[in-house]
C-alpha cells in the first residue's frame, strides 16, 4: 500500500524502534536500573530555569492572540531580530531579521533548505560519519546523497576524498560540527581548506555549491574547543540551528536558519525558504517557543554535567580496553568495535544489557556510537558490564585461535 520510496525509510527507522523496544523489554525483565541505554541522543539535563520563567511570563504578560497566532511564515520579526543581534555580537556579523527563518528544529530547517534548493537528481555531499537522517532529508526532494569516506584517524572531513566526488550536479555539501556521532569539533584549519576547495570547484563547474552547516550542538563544547562561524569562512554557507540540545527542548521543535546576504541568489533563496516552510506543512515554527527562545538567548544547559559524563565514560571504556577519539563537543562517543562486525558487537553488548548504535547507521561501519546524555550514575554502573563484555570477546578470540 505504501509508497516505494517510503519502504526503505521505514526499514531504516525500524532498527531504531527495535532498539527502543529492546530497552523496554530488558527494563521489564531486569529492572530499569540494570539496563544501560546509550542509544538515544535525548538530552537528560533539564532546560534552564530561565525557560520556565520565560514561558510563565509570556503567558502572563503578552496578548494571547499574539502568543498563539499565525505570523509571517519565517517567524516573528522581533524574535528574528533578537537572534540576528545576538549572532552579530558573537560573530561580528551584520545580520537582520531578514536573514533568519524560524524552523521546526534542525530537522525542519534542513528540509526547508533542501526543498528550496534541490531539483531531482541534484547531488548533496556528506562526510561520513554523519547523522543518518540526512539520507531522508535529501531523498525527500529526490536529491542524491553522496558520501565522503571517513578519515578514521581524526574524524575531520576527509578532504582528499572530497574533491573527487564533486560533479556538475553537486548542489550542496553538509557539515555538522560538533559532530554526531563522533563528538569531534572540525578545526578552523580544516574548514578553511574545505572552503578553498569549494571555491575552486565552484569556479570549475560554474555554479554555486552551498555549504549547509547543521549546528544543533554548537553550544555543547568542552575545554577550550572552539566552534568556527562557517559563514565567515565561506560566503555560500547556510546555518541550521536548533534549541533541541542547547536548551534541552527537543520536543518543542524550535530552531532557525541563517541565510546570509552573501549567498549567491540570497534574495530568491530567502523568499523561497519562506514559501517552503509553509508548503511543507510546518506553516511556521511553534509560536510560543519562538517567543521563549528570544528571551533565553543567553541561557545555556549545564554543560558541566555532560563533561563529567564524557570524562567518566571515556576513561572507563579505555580501561575496559576499548578505544575512541576523545570528543570535544556534543554528547557522543564513537568507539572502535573490537571485532570487525560492529553489528555483532552490538548484539553481544545487548546480552550485557548495554544498548549501543551500530556505526553503519552513520555510514561508518566498524564503530559504535554511545550517547552519554544519560545519568552519571548509569555510566558508573555500566562500566563493569563493558569489562565483562570485553572479557567475553577476548575469550571468544582465544577459543577461535585454538
Ligand atoms: N542534526 C543532527 C546532527 C542531530 O544530531 C539531530 C538530532 O539529534 C538533528 C539534526 C535534528 O535535531 P532537531 O531535534 O533540532 O530537529
- Is residue 250 in contact with ligand 1, taking CB distance under 6 Å? yes
Rounded to 5 degrees, φ, ψ at 145 are: -90, 125
**Nearest one of 317, 335, 339 to 392, comparing CA atoms:** 339
**Nearest one of 140, 123, 225 to 174, comparing CA atoms:** 123
pLDDT digits (tens, 9 = 90+) for 383-399: 999 999 999 999 876 66
Q: Which of 108, 180, 361 to probe ligand 1 with, by most ligand atoms within 8 A of CB?
A: 180
Cis ω for the linkage preceding 385 (within 30 of 0): no
Least confident of 119-133, 136-150, 197-211, 388-402: 388-402
Helix count and strand count (H, E) for the chain = 14, 13
Distance from the alpha carbon of residue 242 to the mean position of ligand 1, in angstroms:
8
What pLDDT was estimated at residue 126? 98
Distance from the alpha carbon of residue 206 to the mean position of ligand 1, in angstroms:
32
What pLDDT was estimated at residue 8? 86
Q: For residue 209, how far is the Cα from the chain centroid?
A: 21
Mean pLDDT of the chain: 96
Comparing 296 with 17, which gets the higher pLDDT? 296
Give the strands of the sheet with 357-358, arranged side by side: 323-324, 332-336, 367-371, 357-358
**Nearest one of 331, 321, 190 to 248, comparing CA atoms:** 331
In the predicted structure, residue 171 carries a pLDDT above the cut 90: yes
What pLDDT was estimated at residue 402? 54
What pLDDT was estimated at residue 314? 98
What pLDDT was estimated at residue 119? 98
Average pLDDT over residues 93-106: 98
What pLDDT was estimated at residue 398? 65
- Is residue 41 in contact with ligand 1, taking CB distance under 6 Å? yes
Burial class (CB within 10 angstroms; exposed 0-12, middle 13-18, buried 19+) of 316: middle
Long-range contacts of 10-13 (CB under 8 A, 24+ apart): 12/132, 12/135, 12/136, 12/361
- Is residue 43 in contact with ligand 1, taking CB distance under 6 Å? no
State the closest ligand 1 atom to the C-alpha of 179, by its place in the atom list counted from 1: 3
pLDDT grade, residue 20 (50/70/90)? Answer: confident
Three cell numbers at 353? 544489557
| Integer angstrom CA distances of residue 230 from 153, 171, 234, 235 | 23, 18, 6, 8
Query: How far apart are the C-alpha atoms of 336 and 152, rounded to whole Å?
Result: 10
pLDDT grade, residue 216 (50/70/90)? Answer: very high
pLDDT > 90: what percent of the chain?
Answer: 93
| Predicted structure pTM score | 0.96
Query: How many Cα atoms within 13 Å fall on the side-chain side of residue 201?
Result: 25
pLDDT grade, residue 167 (50/70/90)? Answer: very high
- Is residue 103 in contact with ligand 1, taking CB distance under 6 Å? no
- Is residue 134 in contact with ligand 1, taking CB distance under 6 Å? no
In the predicted structure, residue 70 carries a pLDDT above the cut 80: yes
Query: How far apart are the C-alpha atoms of 123 and 168, rounded to whole Å?
Result: 9
- Is residue 316 in contact with ligand 1, taking CB distance under 6 Å? no
**Radius of gyration over every alpha carbon of the chain, rounded to an integer in angstroms:** 22
- Is residue 107 in contact with ligand 1, taking CB distance under 6 Å? yes
What pLDDT was estimated at residue 12? 78
Average pLDDT over residues 117-140: 97
Q: Which of 106, 110, 136, 369 to probe ligand 1 with, by most ligand atoms within 8 A of CB?
A: 106
- Is residue 248 in contact with ligand 1, taking CB distance under 6 Å? no
In the predicted structure, residue 184 carries a pLDDT above the cut 80: yes
- Is residue 216 in contact with ligand 1, taking CB distance under 6 Å? yes
pLDDT digits (tens, 9 = 90+) for 306-332: 999 999 999 999 999 999 999 999 999
Amino acid at each position: 500500500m505504501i509508497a516505494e520510496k517510503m519502504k526503505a525509510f521505514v526499514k531504516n527507522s525500524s532498527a531504531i524502534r527495535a532498539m527502543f523496544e529492546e530497552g523496554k523489554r530488558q527494563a521489564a525483565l531486569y529492572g530499569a536500573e540494570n539496563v544501560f541505554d546509550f542509544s538515544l541522543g535525548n538530552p537528560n539535563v533539564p532546560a534552564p530555569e530561565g525557560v520556565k520563567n520565560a514561558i510563565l511570563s509570556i503567558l502572563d504578560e503578552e496578548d494571547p492572540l499574539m502568543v498563539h497566532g499565525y505570523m509571517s511564515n519565517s517567524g516573528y520579526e522581533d524574535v528574528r531580530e533578537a537572534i540576528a543581534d545576538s549572532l552579530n555580537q558573537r560573530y561580528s556579523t551584520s545580520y537582520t531579521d531578514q536573514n533568519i527563518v524560524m524552523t521546526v528544529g534542525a530537522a525542519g530547517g534542513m528540509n526547508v533548505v533542501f526543498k528550496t534548493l534541490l531539483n531531482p537528481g541534484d547531488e548533496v555531499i556528506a562526510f561520513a560519519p554523519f547523522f543518518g537522517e540526512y539520507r531522508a532529508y535529501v531523498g525527500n526532494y529526490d536529491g542524491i546523497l553522496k558520501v565522503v569516506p571517513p578519515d578514521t584517524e581524526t574524524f575531520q572531513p576527509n578532504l582528499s576524498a572530497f574533491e573527487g566526488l564533486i560533479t556538475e550536479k553537486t548542489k550542496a555539501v553538509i557539515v555538522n560540527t560538533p559532530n554526531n556521532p563522533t563528538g569531534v569539533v572540525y578545526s578552523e584549519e580544516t574548514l578553511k581548506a574545505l572552503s578553498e576547495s569549494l571555491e575552486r570547484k565552484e569556479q570549475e563547474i560554474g555554479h554555486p555549491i552551498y555549504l549547509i552547516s547543521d549546528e544543533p550542538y554548537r553550544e555543547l563544547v568542552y575545554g577550550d574547543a572552539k566552534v568556527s562561524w562557517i559563514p565567515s569562512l565561506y560566503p555560500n554557507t547556510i546555518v541550521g540551528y536548533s534549541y533541541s540540545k542547547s536548551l534541552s527542548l527537543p520536543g518543542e521543535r524550535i530552531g532557525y536558519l541563517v541565510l546570509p546576504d552573501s549567498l549567491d541568489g540570497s534574495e530568491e533563496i530567502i523568499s523561497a525558504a519562506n514559501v517552503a516552510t509553509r508548503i511543507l506543512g510546518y506553516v511556521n515554527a511553534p509560536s510560543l517557543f519562538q517567543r521563549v527562545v528570544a528571551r533565553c538567548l543567553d541561557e545555556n544547559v549545564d554543560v558541566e554535567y555532560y563533561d563529567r559524563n564524557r570524562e567518566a565514560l571515556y576513561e572507563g571504556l579505555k580501561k575496559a580496553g576499548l578505544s575512541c577519539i576523545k570528543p570535544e563537543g556534543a554528547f557522543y562517543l564513537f568507539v572502535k568495535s573490537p571485532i570487525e562486525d560492529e553489528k555483532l558487537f552490538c548484539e553481544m553488548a545487548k546480552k550485557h544489557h548495554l544498548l549501543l548504535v551500530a556505526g553503519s547507521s552513520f555510514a561508518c561501519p566498524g564503530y559504535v556510537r554511545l550517547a552519554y546524555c544519560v545519568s552519571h550514575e548509569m555510566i558508573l554502573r555500566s562500566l563493569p558490564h563493558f569489562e565483562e563484555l570485553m572479557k567475553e570477546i577476548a575469550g571468544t578470540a582465544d577459543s577461535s585461535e585454538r
